[in-house]
Amino acid sequence: MEIDPTTENALVATALALADAARPATLAHFRDDGLVADNKEAGGFDPVTAADREAEAAMREVLARLRPDDAILGEEFGFQAGRSGLTWVLDPVDGTRAFLSGTPTWGVLIAVGDETGPRLGMIDQPFIGERFLGGFGQAWSEGPQGRRELATRAPRPLAEAILFTTFPEVGSPAEAAAFHDLAGRVRLTRYGLDCYAYALVALGQVDLVVEAQLQAYDIQGPMAVIEAAGGVVTDWQGGSAKDGGRVIAAANAEVHAAALELLSRAPGG
């Protein structure tokens, strides 16, 4: 759908307001010894805390006031229909395991888009005070080092690349095998940064993030930021990553193609 400049400005202002609302809701619980995590996954560990719920509730209150006709898809409270053709996709705490560990690599993920995917995205890290925004011709970060324009890293050989993923297991055994084949061909592989790894791609520090079994709210915010900064985000077959699943986030088309050549062979795609 066409979005006029006035609406673009309003959407950027709304995204900033959402992140501003989520910051105090998350920080009220971060590194709190009394924080309790409930487990959403039988037979595993998928934690959710008051920080997740309160941050999403705070963002939904902002949307009810500023954008009542837009739809909402949030990790904690699900889908709310709208009538504008636009949907806000919210992950109030991406990296709840990191949050529980006191590690400041979790973040608040915000995106807005239409049926084609995200048009604007944000990764916000409240504790560091670092914010990454991309879309509608903008790509910038603000934080302790001030404001800077975002630009992904220039092409270099896969053998010189830096690769991130959150969990060494990646996903299924087949997905893990494909990932570790790729990991064996890069210079450096690191684990565990959740959404902050995607921010580092947009910042020009990292070449690749590869993950599997994601949800739409895990990727739409980072996807918009990285694409606005000059990167490429697809699934492992080169298609759209807007609905999650297997994801390649790459600094440029060249390193994306090199990773895709390997990962596209994974069975089950």
CATH of the domain at 116: 3.30.540.10
Q: Is 269 domain-assigned?
A: no
Whether 65 and 134 share a structural domain:
yes
Give the Å distances, CA to CA, from 140 to 149, 174, 190. Answer: 4, 36, 24
Whether 172 and 249 share a structural domain:
yes
Q: Is 258 domain-assigned?
A: yes
According to the model, what pLDDT value does residue 76 have?
Answer: 95
Whether 84 and 116 share a structural domain:
yes
According to the model, what pLDDT value does residue 103 have?
Answer: 95
Q: Is 268 domain-assigned?
A: no
The residue segments making up the domain with residue 245 are 158-263
According to the model, what pLDDT value does residue 35 have?
Answer: 86
- Please tell me the total count of domains within the chain: 2
Whether 22 and 128 share a structural domain:
yes
Whether 10 and 110 share a structural domain:
yes
According to the model, what pLDDT value does residue 41 have?
Answer: 63
Of the residues 149, 178, 201, the one at which a domain ends:
149
pLDDT tens digit at each of 269 positions of the chain: 899 999 999 999 999 999 999 999 999 999 998 888 887 665 666 788 999 999 999 999 999 999 999 999 999 999 999 999 999 999 999 999 999 999 999 999 999 999 999 999 999 999 999 999 999 999 999 999 999 999 999 999 999 999 999 999 998 999 999 999 999 999 999 999 999 999 999 999 999 999 999 999 999 999 999 999 999 999 999 999 999 999 999 999 999 999 999 999 999 86
According to the model, what pLDDT value does residue 44 have?
Answer: 66
Residue 154 dihedral angles phi and psi, to the nearest 5°: -70, 160
CATH of the domain at 194: 3.40.190.80
